[in-house]
Amino acid sequence: MKTAIWLYLFLFLAVFDLHAQYPILTPFAISLGAAPTFIGWMMGIYSLTHLPGNLIAGTQIDKHGSRRYIVFSLVGAGFILLLQAHIHTPWQLLALRSISGFVLAFLSPACLALLAQLSNDPVKQGKYMSGHGVVHTLASVVSPAAGAIIVGAMGFSATFSSLGYLLILTGVIALLTMPRGLVRQPQLLTEPAKPGLAPSGSAKATSDPTPADVPKAFLPVSWRYFMLPLVIACAQGILFFELPLRGGGHSSMMSTGLLFSIISIGALFTLSMLFLNRYSPKLRLVAGVLLMSLSFFAMAAIPQISLSIVLFVLGMSKGIIFPAMATLFIHLSGGSKLGRIFSLQSIATSIGSFIGPITAGQLRLGVSPYFIAFILLMIGILLLPYYTSRHTAPLSSSDANSILG
């Protein structure tokens, strides 16, 4: 539990630091002379350079543990922000954002894998994942508005410097407090004890168990499940590109920061609805993505609708989607090779985050980017497997309740 508390603290500081940049990066790029199309590529290249980092993280986290990669991401990202405080051209910003994308690619899979490894108990794992969602959301509630306020008071350079020092300090604390190596490998999908067989570890246990008695180390996960994080990230990338550009991106930093905070407040609202954990992760995932797609459709088809209300509902969908997605991937993987599973999820997210802003930058004058996001989310829902494959154990209601707590 002590490790989980420390990890939540690091996650809060890291998420605060990174989300504080959302409302200010676009105005900063415009101040350097960047055009909207270039800004789309700048946001997309950050996600594209996630891919090699995700590919490396998958096997290395399972092999060496999460600690060194959490520290590397935090400290590396901090130094990049210190450099970002002293640049003068859009191309310099593009280069630093591309490096930052690689460095931060290790953080999310490392944190999620470490949280999942803190316990073999599915109930505790579900609670750890819920805690991750709550901490992430709390930080993202205050950070966008805080970033806009800090820029208004201190300017871009001082803001990036202060955020960089905060990340470096967080990385140093993580180095001193995080456990070394792997904590443990959880085993979620073990077969129930059969009559006549002693429990695992007992002196009477069968010395040569049959393959049916040994849980699989890794259960294949259909590529169709990874289409959802891809289209969700694509839709979010479109949103993060479009919101700061409303009103030209110069005088609306404060209002943009507040809008990002409204999204996080909506996510916190549904995260606090603990009764949702009684339902199947797949059911919650479908419901959340459908709600998100309808929010984008409303922004595209009803321009006069209150943006705050729609973004609050969109945030509610995020509070449903991400805990359900993490729980579903843990279940589908059998609780094994979690570094690789969450790395694949991060790869899908990186690809979507690369496609989203670039698509919005290229097509925003011809068609509403919000409508594109709606179409992509609906395609993701249609591609989701709605049957239980012969390789994957079915998720019964008792399994879901035990996993979700």
Same domain, 11 and 59: yes
Range of the domain at 101: 1-181
Q: For position 247, what pLDDT does the model report? A: 58
In one-letter notation, the amino acid at residue 104 is L
Residue 187 in any domain: the answer is no
Same domain, 18 and 145: yes
3 state SS of 176 = helix
Residue 32 in any domain: the answer is yes
Residue 395 in any domain: the answer is no
Same domain, 47 and 161: yes
Distance, C-alpha 345 to centroid of its chain: 9
Q: For position 310, what pLDDT does the model report? A: 93
Please answer whether residues 42 and 195 qualify as being in contact, where contact means their C-beta atoms are separated by less than 8 angstroms.
Answer: no
Residue 401 in any domain: the answer is no
Terminal alpha carbon distance of the chain? 16
Three-class HEC string of 134-169: HHHHHHHHHHHHHHHHHHHHHCHHHHHHHHHHHHHH
Where are the alpha helices (H) located in 20-155, listed in sequence order?
Answer: 22-31, 36-48, 50-64, 67-84, 90-103, 107-117, 122-154
Same domain, 170 and 283: no
Same domain, 271 and 373: yes
Give burial (CB, 10 Å; 0-12/13-18/19+) of 83.
middle
3 state SS of 394 = coil
The tens-digit pLDDT sequence of the chain (405 residues) is 677 777 787 778 777 777 787 778 888 888 888 887 788 888 788 778 877 877 787 677 777 777 888 889 889 989 999 999 999 898 999 999 889 888 888 887 787 777 777 766 666 666 776 677 778 778 877 788 788 788 878 888 888 998 899 889 888 988 888 766 544 444 444 444 444 444 444 444 333 333 333 344 444 567 788 888 899 999 998 988 888 776 554 456 677 778 888 888 888 888 888 777 778 888 888 999 999 999 999 999 988 888 889 999 999 998 888 888 877 887 777 666 666 777 788 788 878 888 888 888 788 777 888 999 999 999 999 988 865 544 444 444 334 333 333
Q: Of 152, 181, 210, which one is at a domain's C-terminal end?
A: 181
Same domain, 155 and 227: no
Same domain, 138 and 231: no
Same domain, 8 and 145: yes
Q: For position 39, what pLDDT does the model report? A: 82
Alpha carbons 22 and 99: distance in angstroms, whole number: 17
In one-letter notation, the amino acid at residue 184 is R
Q: For position 294, what pLDDT does the model report? A: 94
Same domain, 136 and 226: no
Alpha carbons 362 and 348: distance in angstroms, whole number: 21
Q: For position 220, what pLDDT does the model report? A: 58
Residue 200 in any domain: the answer is no
3 state SS of 201 = coil
Entry field: residues in the chain: 405
Residue 160 in any domain: the answer is yes
Residue 5 in any domain: the answer is yes
Alpha carbons 379 and 401: distance in angstroms, whole number: 29
Same domain, 6 and 96: yes
| Nearest residue to 260 via CA among 241, 276, 275 | 241
Alpha carbons 16 and 243: distance in angstroms, whole number: 19
Q: For position 121, what pLDDT does the model report? A: 67
Same domain, 117 and 258: no
Residue 191 in any domain: the answer is no
CATH number at residue 86: 1.20.1250.20
In one-letter notation, the amino acid at residue 197 is L
Same domain, 257 and 152: no
The first and second tokens of residue 404, run together, are: 């979700």
Q: Of 181, 210, 233, which one is at a domain's C-terminal end?
A: 181
Number of domains into which the chain is organized: 2
